[in-house]
Structure 1
Amino acid sequence: MTAYREGRVTLAPSLGQRFESALLGFLPREFRMLALLLALTATVGLLIWRVADFVPLTAMVVPLVLANLVLGPRQLPWFVVVTLLTLAVLVPQQPDITPRIAVTVVILFGLGFIILLSSFRRSRLGVAGLRGESMLVDLRDRILRQGGIPELPAGWYAASELRSAGGTPFAGDFVVTARQGDRLDVAVVDVSGKGEGAGTRALLLSGALGGLLGALPPEEFLEAANDFLMRQDWEEGFASAVHLSLDLASGAYAIRSAGHPPAALRVAGTGRWSVLEAEGPVLGLIDGSTYEPVVGTMRRGDAMLLYTDGMVETPHRDIMLGVDKMLGRAEQLLRGEFEGGAKRIIESIGSRNDDRALLLVHRR
């Protein structure tokens, strides 16, 4: 049967297709996936029963793995139980239960048990595996976007780089930026802890600090960040931070620090780096803390580095020795070429076993 619409000829759906579409449209997405996976399990089970010589018991791995990827925490445990019961029914139907088949059955039941345990842990998140992972990836990408440098006027260059302990995508160090007219605000933050443990706290903190950075005057930012952290019920509830507020028209800057390694300024006339010692308590430890600025002006040719302690910290050595080492390396790597300089520095220095963040600002 054909249907005519707007001068085009299309095939009208059959009664069976319309019924299937209505049925699948009626069911929620999770139950549609569950129905499809149950049908797949029944098909695999039937093939194992009828043609055991060609379809092994290990074919049951396919629906188990797919279910682990797409089913939510409420449907997954029941599906695993049904699949394992199906397997238990099929085993006696095997023509010859050899030791190899027995080991295969044990492995399949062990896999089902592991998937059950993972579903119980996943129930705390409340979403299926792929969707849960996509949520975390989206949050991680938001952190990276918040650290992206906004478009700067001619005569300015800035770049940031992040590296995590062990090379994982989630890190406790991050950068947030905001531009309001001629004012650029940048904060480099180091959350207590390392790797994925600190990364989960950084997911929350980066969103909060990113909002505060663009909404508050520079002198209030670290105080508000400290108040926010004081309200969090974290076992490791502190972070260090350095905040740069830069006037892109005049080059005037103010740097405030919350227990963070000192910023460094390269004066074009001398070609040497010097540290800018702003002082203030770590975020999240002392209620009502205040943060006094170090002020100055960046002139043409000057450059500034903000970084986390993973760039300069070495066990059993004073941190200032690490700062001197980093600045000596920066003097070599940035000589006459600042484009891509942040990446060159972070890849040539700093501990690979610690999270690292680096921001480079240069006035051309």
Structure 2
Amino acid sequence: MARQMSATVVLAGLSFLVGAGLLTWPEWLTPASLLFVVLLGVFVLRVRAMAVLSAVVVGQVVGLQLAGFTQFAPGDLILLGAGVLAAVAFVRSRDRLGLQGAASDLMLVDLRDRLVAHGRIPPLPPRWRVDSVVRSAYAEAFSGDFVVASRSRSGNLLEIVLVDVSGKGQDAGVRSLLLSGAFGGLLGTMPPERFLPAANRYLLAQDWPEGFATAIHLAVRLDTGEFTVSTAGHPPAVQLHAGSGLIQVLATNPGPALGIVASPVFGAHHGTLAPGDTVMLYTDGLVETPGADVELGIDRLMGEAERFVATRSGGADAVLDGVRAGDTDDRALILVHRD
């Protein structure tokens, strides 16, 4: 409170200096100079202090105008009024965080970094590689798609979950952060077949108005190459067989999206990754196009995978760029290789 009062007093004093400058050096200072003071308040003040500063600035303009010391052009008054209203509205929306200025920005950066950290793939033994990429809609800082991964204590089992939260970009970012932490805590603490049911119960307990998410869960034995993949309302995984050159869609009899049904049943596909094989996980942002069949999108994605992955000429970034899905939706792609 003391810092807020001090900052408000300093900025109010600065606004009076600017007002005096408008009278003394009109060729150097314009009415828009007061917007600079308001802008400084956006960086350091919370909503109540910002309201006080705005009132001081507006009162000063009205006083100068009525006293006849200076005459503001109508355009200047409109610009100044709009700037003050926009500044107060922005500070009010940010004040919900309980912080102000750089502190709130640093907190958002930390939250984003935590979301990225949850998706880091643990170190793998030789001849195993995971290549992943997540891109948010319109290149925003937060994405509705996220990855969590875990490796068992024995080191023989790798689990990866790719989740697509309802919504996109910043709208889904908060839910992504909460779910990534919860799913990361669940992953590896129970048998793989129990993960999706547990994640579904957690999501139902949140009781969000828009609280569903699709997910695909992959569990791979790193000693034998045997794997199990299960889906919850999510596009199917794809396996690239190095020996035959076959690219196979892995049918899993998918269950419903997480957070919709109380006791869903999730089917599973069991297979084996032979040396040279790859399993590909992805979100619907890569394969869904308005007005087009999603199967065509999957075929296009498989074609790009054959072009880059099967020929070892590119990785996840190259496949995602080749699909050219656009940036209107979040997109994520994971490639699990056994060399």
| In structure 1, distance between residues paired with 2:188 and 2:14 | 52
* Partner of residue 101, structure 1: 73
Over 3 Å counting, the alpha-carbon distance change for 1:152 and 1:35 in structure 2 is farther
The offset of 1:350, in angstroms, is 4.9
| In structure 2, distance between residues paired with 1:59 and 1:93 | 20
Question: Would the aligned equivalents of 1:172 and 1:194 in 2 still touch at CA under 8 Å?
Answer: yes
Identity fraction in percent: 40
Instruction: Confirm whether residue 323 of structure 1 aligns to residue 298 of structure 2.
Output: yes
Where does 1:308-347 land on structure 2 (aligned, <5 Å)? 308-337=283-312, 340-347=314-321
For residue 61 of structure 1, the aligned residue among 32, 35, 38 is 35
* Partner of residue 220, structure 1: 194
| In structure 1, distance between residues paired with 2:77 and 2:293 | 58
The offset of 1:223, in angstroms, is 1.0
* Partner of residue 34, structure 1: 8
* Partner of residue 17, structure 1: none
Structure 1 unaligned segments of length 5 or more: list them. Answer: 1-26
* Partner of residue 105, structure 2: 133
| In structure 1, distance between residues paired with 2:78 and 2:330 | 41
Letter of the structure 1 residue corresponding to residue 216 of structure 2: V
Letter of the structure 2 residue corresponding to residue 251 of structure 1: G
Question: Would the aligned equivalents of 1:77 and 1:119 in 2 still touch at CA under 8 Å?
Answer: no
| In structure 2, distance between residues paired with 1:29 and 1:96 | 33
Instruction: Confirm whether residue 119 of structure 1 aligns to residue 91 of structure 2.
Output: yes
Q: Secondary structure at the match of 1:231?
A: helix
- Equivalent pairs counted in the alignment come to 335
Q: Deviations over 1:146-203 (max 9, x none)?
A: 2222221211111111122233232211111122223221111111223332333223
| In structure 2, distance between residues paired with 1:37 and 1:236 | 42
Question: Would the aligned equivalents of 1:171 and 1:194 in 2 still touch at CA under 8 Å?
Answer: yes
For residue 260 of structure 2, the aligned residue among 253, 270, 285 is 285
Over 3 Å counting, the alpha-carbon distance change for 1:281 and 1:350 in structure 2 is farther
Instruction: Confirm whether residue 78 of structure 1 aligns to residue 68 of structure 2.
Output: no
| In structure 2, distance between residues paired with 1:293 and 1:205 | 22
Question: Would the aligned equivalents of 2:47 and 2:88 in 1 still touch at CA under 8 Å?
Answer: no
* Partner of residue 322, structure 2: 348
For residue 259 of structure 1, the aligned residue among 220, 233, 243 is 233
RMSD over aligned CA atoms reads 2.2
Question: Would the aligned equivalents of 1:49 and 1:94 in 2 still touch at CA under 8 Å?
Answer: no
For residue 276 of structure 2, the aligned residue among 301, 310, 315 is 301
* Partner of residue 118, structure 2: 146
Over 3 Å counting, the alpha-carbon distance change for 1:78 and 1:307 in structure 2 is same
Residues 318-327 or 225-234, more deviating: 318-327
- Asked which structure has the greater CA Rg, the reply is 1
| In structure 1, distance between residues paired with 2:158 and 2:16 | 61
Structure 2 unaligned segments of length 5 or more: list them. Answer: none
For residue 240 of structure 1, the aligned residue among 214, 223, 236 is 214
| In structure 1, distance between residues paired with 2:28 and 2:289 | 60
The offset of 1:95, in angstroms, is 5.2
With the length of structure 2 as denominator, give the TM-score of the two structures: 0.90
| In structure 2, distance between residues paired with 1:175 and 1:311 | 16
| In structure 2, distance between residues paired with 1:211 and 1:341 | 29
Letter of the structure 1 residue corresponding to residue 137 of structure 2: A
Q: Deviations over 1:102-128 (max 9, x none)?
A: 421332122112222333333333322
* Partner of residue 22, structure 1: none
Question: Would the aligned equivalents of 1:310 and 1:350 in 2 still touch at CA under 8 Å?
Answer: no
* Partner of residue 23, structure 1: none
Letter of the structure 2 residue corresponding to residue 239 of structure 1: A
Instruction: Confirm whether residue 162 of structure 1 aligns to residue 162 of structure 2.
Output: no
Residues 341-350 or 85-94, more deviating: 85-94
Question: Would the aligned equivalents of 1:299 and 1:363 in 2 still touch at CA under 8 Å?
Answer: yes
Over 3 Å counting, the alpha-carbon distance change for 1:49 and 1:307 in structure 2 is same
Structure 1 runs (4+) deviating above 6 angstroms are none
Q: Secondary structure at the match of 2:235?
A: coil
Letter of the structure 2 residue corresponding to residue 124 of structure 1: R
Q: Deviations over 1:10-60 (max 9, x none)?
A: xxxxxxxxxxxxxxxxx7443443343233223323333433343222221
| In structure 1, distance between residues paired with 2:230 and 2:146 | 17
Q: Deviations over 1:307-364 (max 9, x none)?
A: 01111223344423322221122101123326x5100011111521222110001111
With the length of structure 1 as denominator, give the TM-score of the two structures: 0.84
* Partner of residue 10, structure 1: none
Letter of the structure 2 residue corresponding to residue 79 of structure 1: L
Over 3 Å counting, the alpha-carbon distance change for 1:102 and 1:317 in structure 2 is closer
